[in-house]
Structure 1
């Protein structure tokens, strides 16, 4: 029995006391602390329990006797709650243990003898008693045993071999994922002549690796090429990549998300999620994170799915780090009251909405073409050229012979709307005219073909069609140039402002030159021997051409105008520095601090004033260039607020082209595999394809996957070292 000093009345509880074990459970303690508790044994203070009981009309008092400690060595007491406990069960708490003996304690003295007998007979009590008796003995004994050391060495040698084999199989899975090749063949049996790319690749590696070759020939427990192992490896790879990306996000100051929904070839609605941030090396990263399955494409469904993922990416208390969200132009995404962006902003107040600028360009061109009936008809007629030749090899043969150039198809889903078709028809207009005349005069074609060819001849001789063809031939190069610039990944709001201004200036120049374009077109018409058809007057042609240019200009200014939170980009726009030197942009600074309250207004103003007055900073063309200048010259500690603002501007996505790239990869993966995949398998294959560079840069990627694979469940094959 322990002495009175072990009672629960001191400033520091003894490690074996009941109160100490309840406050600091035994399983959380180190091996040294556990051995100390075992050596001390159960705490057995003198418990003052007095209970009044009645039996056969007589009343008497019952109490706890310390003799019980001598009779049952496993009993422990607590004077604080005046109850007795089972010491082994309190330490190990095996499943099935009666919580009365481990949590509340036994206080019923009348039935104490019966309770003790019943508890001693339970399996849980016996198991816990054996565990306490063997604690610290097995490890010491086995470590001293030579046979044990030999067994450990052999085990580790087998682990080395198994990990080498699994690493080679992982390499094969990575290769197939990187090049979007199907992991499974139609017939993977040993006798199959075409077992699939994955099995063929494994066999190729085995022919170069004797260890893998022997394993494939002799393995009975674990071969590593089954569908189950493939799925488990893909799951482990996805987990490793996601953990790495989340670690990068954890170290980033700010985060932006890009999301869009699409439907795969199985008509399943998918939401793609891309994360944008600046990593610890000060590089801008856009990481594909996952495809999220959706039941439908409503705002509530999409917002719920997004918020669920964001809660795991940004822990509670870090909501302010999400500074931007980018989607496409659909009303369900951009709605000001019930759209996805509004629902996300209600939770993440700094997550300002950014419309994809490349989508904006598409909307502008659609507005300029589809909303003007005469222009809409022109593009419908233009689309007929490619359709005419695509229906017949015989027609295409004449096209190749006369024009020596194929006609590109037009598609409203292309962001550079009909550009190639306009340029090709304009540049080869005379050749196409001869081609259609050849078809009409050859006598080798059926009447419908001859009739359609005649329609195209009249179209190419139509003065209105030729005028609009010349107009859009001037407009489209600027659209193409803007589209290509908007697709760059490392662009920022400062860079966007400059290229949009150049685009609008070009459109204004074309608008001003419409009269000269009309005169130039009329001159070329008079030189043609064929009489031209005209349905519109010169004034009407110029009016429509002016309307097209005005529509593009007005929508460009409206759709590309900075929203409130993007006014901050003007603070760091290099060509405005001279103007800011004369008059500081106080209103833009107020708006910036209101949008991003984490910035220190007074210090930011001081830093910006110095930047505006220093000529060396005026050469910086964009936010990314200026940010790199600060980092390369170790000025981030001096210009703390400016660097924070630059991080915000750079993290804010100006395009969702990355999401669209994910969509095309999704379609390629589904097409190549041609089978039904689980969502985890789809996510893993997409990740392997789109983040192949990241996989190469992760140190010990294969070892991380093997560790995850080995601990996923109990495996008969050995992958963990002793």
Structure 2
């Protein structure tokens, strides 16, 4: 029973029992002799004298460690593992025996072998008591972790760490700092949420990705959001912040690869970002993406504000960038309630109403400063006279000087004409009923006409000297003649020098004004090109119009096959089948009353019409997945705004990604049945914990 073959046969079926180990220890190692065939080596039974634990196996023609064979639970030793053949090279037997005897594994097994059969009853009781104590500690620790996770699931705010640290303080938790525990637990929640989102993405047919600028500075520049449809529900999921790259296409391709979307490239149907998109570089990046993802189209997302996009486009000029930086100081200065009240008071004197202003966006700030310029200047002068704190006085003086600066006033008037047109276009695209690709083209033509009017309204003859008048020749002559010691010749010489200086200054000012004017005209062209480029792909809007009830009567008579032919071919939709299915829907009174693609898609899920209308079902999923601009209320929620709001509260958190994810994905956490267990498992496996979390 102590042969190597017999022991290995038993081990393959089940672990050795304590009784079997006692018997094997009592019998000792099996040391048979065996002949070696077709080899130059010779076996000698004297080999067994090298160590007490050597045993032989005639079947394998090799020597093994009897102690490890009996004791090792993992069977991972090089002497007894099923993959190994033991010591078959007897020429270096002594060296291999000494090496194995010094190994840590052999020492551990030797200790276990020595304890076999000694005080079995006492050790069983001690072991049982130890297991009970261990499991009690595990239960307590997991209970605390559950409370911490529930704290995250309930509400994430600026004080959530204080609540978690209080829970830890009231428990017998391990030595690590409380803040470290909170941060590591949040990171575990984040990883579990990402895994759950990844599994949902694998179940979807289509996805869209968005990259949006979240911060103006720092390493966290772009927020990555993915949008998909699952069982009639639309999900916009925040995934992470990514560092702003030189080439956006490289980030998009890398993140899609991380989500395993590159395995099914037709799943990606659109991507969008709020960066500058009018240069050749953007078109090159688009080609890189479409080379791998042929169905992906760049579209304008409903969450992207046109005025902000246009502001970034115009800020490629240094002067414009400086203007917006100076403009932001007005909003920051007047964010104090005391100064807002003073501004309201100054405006009331000038019979201006509606001065309770929100300084949230640069578009609003441009309008406010332009409309209430005199009131703001009066308010600043009052602050300079009354205020005693030097930093505030310095800020007020700087802002007051901006209101008399010709360069600042020029750009203020210019953007006060530009931004209303941008807001008008955005509102038309977002809230207009009966939306279609043709409507977009009409709105774009109107917008371009307004921008051309702004370009023509720039006064080339506007003289900067009107804002900062220079002294007349007579005044300069009188000022010079006051000096008693100056002769007539000296006066004439001074007059000539002064006239020359005035001509130089006037020429420089005129050139500066011309430069500003040309720059403003260039910005008008850039804005037009930017808007045209963002709406160059509008086939998806025509596709969305097919399921808008306001077009049913029109399309029942004339189906717009030519308008949707390109995009239906791209997504491999049968245009004839789609036409027949939609005409059937148009003729049904109960279906024609359904407003919007999302409700119609949910109706098809609920009534099991997905097989009856397969092409329409695909169409609805594509439309709902794209973050396009429509007038449907259900589509007009934006994850980007929630991300930016959560980002402001995440300053003290080690992982901004984790904090934002925990703030946004409460619904995902609550509907996952074993969410807490998944988090605890991840939390325990990531680092070497001093606490016990796994039951024995």
Distance in 2 of aligned mates of 1:130 and 1:603 = 76
How big is the shift at 1:590?
4.1
User: Where does residue 541 of structure 1 map in the other structure?
Assistant: none
Are residues 627 and 717 of structure 1, via their aligned partners in 2, closer, same or farther at CA, if it must alter by over 3 Å?
A: same
Counterparts of 1:686-701 in structure 2, within 5 Å, are 686-701=660-675
Instruction: State the aligned residue count.
Output: 576
* Residue pairs, 1:450-489, within 5 angstroms: 478=424, 481-482=427-428, 485=431
Equivalent positions of 1:41-52 (< 5 A) are 50-51=37-38
Structure 1 residue 406 corresponds to structure 2 residue 352: no
Aligned partner of residue 241 in structure 2, secondary structure: strand
Q: What's the CA shift for 1:236?
A: 1.4
Q: Secondary structure at the match of 2:263?
A: coil
Counterpart for residue 375 of structure 1? none
In 2: Cα distance, 1:338 partner to 1:243 partner: 33
Q: Distance in 1 between matches of 2:215 and 2:221?
A: 6
Aligned to 1:163: 142
Task: Say which SS state the counterpart of residue 221 (structure 2) adopts.
Answer: strand
Given the superposition, is the C-alpha separation of residues 558 and 284 from structure 1 closer, same or farther in structure 2, using an over 3 Å criterion?
A: same
Q: Indicate the SS of the match to 1:297.
A: coil
Q: 2:245 matched to 1:288?
A: no
Three-state SS of the structure 1 residue aligned to 2:205 is coil
Secondary structure of the structure 2 residue equivalent to 1:650 = helix
Tell me, in whole angstroms, the C-alpha distance in 2 between the residues paired with 1:380 and 1:715: 49
| Cα pair distance change 1:50/1:456, threshold 3 Å | closer
Please tell me whether the aligned partners of residues 206 and 228 of structure 2 are also in contact (alpha carbons under 8 angstroms): yes
Q: CA RMSD in A?
A: 6.3
CA distance in 2, matches of 1:270, 1:418: 22
Alignment equivalent of 2:570, drawn from 595, 601, 610: 595
Say if 2:307 and 2:422, in contact at 8 Å, map to a contact too.
no
1:639-689 deviation per Cα after TM superposition (whole angstroms, max 9, x unaligned):
22321221122111227953354245334423xx3xxx65xx221122222
Return the alpha-carbon distance in structure 2 between the equivalents of residues 245 and 648 of structure 1.
Answer: 19
Q: How many Å apart are 1:370 and its aligned residue?
A: 11
Q: Are residue 298 (structure 1) and residue 246 (structure 2) matched? A: yes
Displacement of 1:638 = 1.9
Distance 1:561 1:114, change over 3 A: closer
Task: Write the distance in 2 (CA, Å) between the matches of 1:75 and 1:316.
Answer: 53
Give the secondary-structure state (helix, strand or coil) at the position aligned to 2:627: coil
Query: In the TM superposition, what is the alpha-carbon distance from 1:274 to its structure 2 partner?
Result: 1.0
Q: Distance in 2 between matches of 1:43 and 1:566?
A: 82
Q: What is the CA distance between 1:127 and its match in structure 2?
A: 6.1
In structure 1, the partner of 2:607 is 633
Alignment of 1:7-26 (within 5 A): none
What is the alpha-carbon distance in structure 2 between the residues aligned to residue 719 and residue 147 of structure 1?
21
Distance 1:499 1:663, change over 3 A: farther
Aligned 8 A contact 2:299 2:535 in 1: no
Identify which of 197, 212, 215 aligns with 1:260.
Answer: 212
1:659 is matched with which residue? Answer: 640
The alignment's TM-score, normalised by the length of structure 1, stands at 0.60
Match of 1:178, SS state, is coil
1:274 and 2:225 aligned: yes
Correspondent of 1:245 among 185, 197, 206: 197
Rounded to whole Å, the distance in 2 between the matches of 1:145 and 1:591 is: 76
* CA gap 1:99/1:651 in 2 versus in 1, 3 angstroms: farther
1:147 to 1:404, Cα distance in 2 relative to 1, 3 A: same
Partner SS state of residue 338, structure 1: helix
2:610 alignment partner, SS class: coil
CA distance in 1 between partners of 2:367 and 2:676 (Å):
51
- Write the mapping of 1:79-118 to structure 2, written as runs, cut at 5 A: 84=62, 86=64, 97=78, 102-103=83-84, 108=89, 111=91, 117=97
Partner of 2:346: helix, strand, or coil? helix
Larger displacement relative to structure 2 (86-95 or 685-694): 86-95
CA distance 1:2–1:158, change in 2 (3 Å): closer
* SS in structure 2 at match of 1:286: strand
Higher relative contact order (CA 8 A, sep 6+): 2
Q: Give the direction of change, closer, same or farther, for the CA distance of 1:259–1:638 in structure 2 (3 Å limit).
A: same
User: Quick one: which of 343, 362, 369 aligns to 1:396?
Assistant: 343
Quote the Cα distance in structure 1 between the aligned partners of 2:65 and 2:299: 62
Quick check: 631-640 or 610-619, which moved more?
610-619
Q: Determine if contact 1:303/1:344 at 8 Å carries over to the other structure.
A: yes
The 3 A distance-change label for structure 1 pair 410 and 435 is: closer
Q: 2:156 aligns with which of 178, 197, 205?
A: 178
Compute the displacement of 1:255 (Å).
1.8
Query: Aligned partners of 1:118 and 1:310: how far apart in 2?
Result: 53
Which of 251, 263, 266 is the aligned partner of 1:317?
263
Matches within 5 A, 1:324-335: 324-331=270-277, 335=281
Could you tell me how far apart the structure 1 residues matched to 2:365 and 2:87 are?
87
TM-fit CA distance, 1:361 = 3.2
Deviation of 1:237 after TM superposition, in Å, equals 1.6
Q: How far 1:291 sits from its partner (Å)?
A: 1.4
Mapped partners of 1:128, 1:380: distance in 2: 69
| Structure 2 residue corresponding to 1:706, chosen from 680, 683, 688 | 680
Correspondent of 2:288 among 333, 343, 346: 343
Contact 2:597–2:624 under 8 Å retained in 1: yes
| Inter-partner Cα distance in structure 2 for 1:623 and 1:606 | 18
Whether the aligned pair in 2 keeps the contact of 1:600 and 1:641 (CA below 8 Å) is: yes
Q: Is contact 2:206-2:269 (8 Å) kept?
A: yes
Structure 2: runs of 5+ lacking an equivalent = 317-323, 388-395, 407-411, 452-522, 630-636
Deviations 1:598-656 (A, max 9, x none): x4666545433433444443333432222122122221232223212211221112279
Q: Residues of 2 paired with 1:573 and 1:276: CA distance?
A: 21
On the 8 A contact 2:32/2:56 being kept in 1, the answer is: no
- In structure 1, the partner of 2:544 is 569
Q: Show the 5 A alignment for 1:82-231.
A: 84=62, 86=64, 97=78, 102-103=83-84, 108=89, 111=91, 117=97, 121=101, 123=103, 126=106, 145=124, 148-172=127-151, 178-181=156-159, 183=161, 198=162, 202-203=165-166, 213=170, 215=171, 219=172, 222=174, 226-231=178-183
Question: Is 1:75–2:26 an aligned residue pair?
Answer: no
Structure 1 residues 268 and 383: alpha-carbon distance in aligned structure 2, compared to 1, 3 A threshold: closer
Q: Describe the SS at the equivalent of 1:239.
A: helix
How far the C-alpha of 1:298 sits from its partner, in A, is 0.3
Counterparts of 1:505-544 in structure 2, within 5 Å, are none
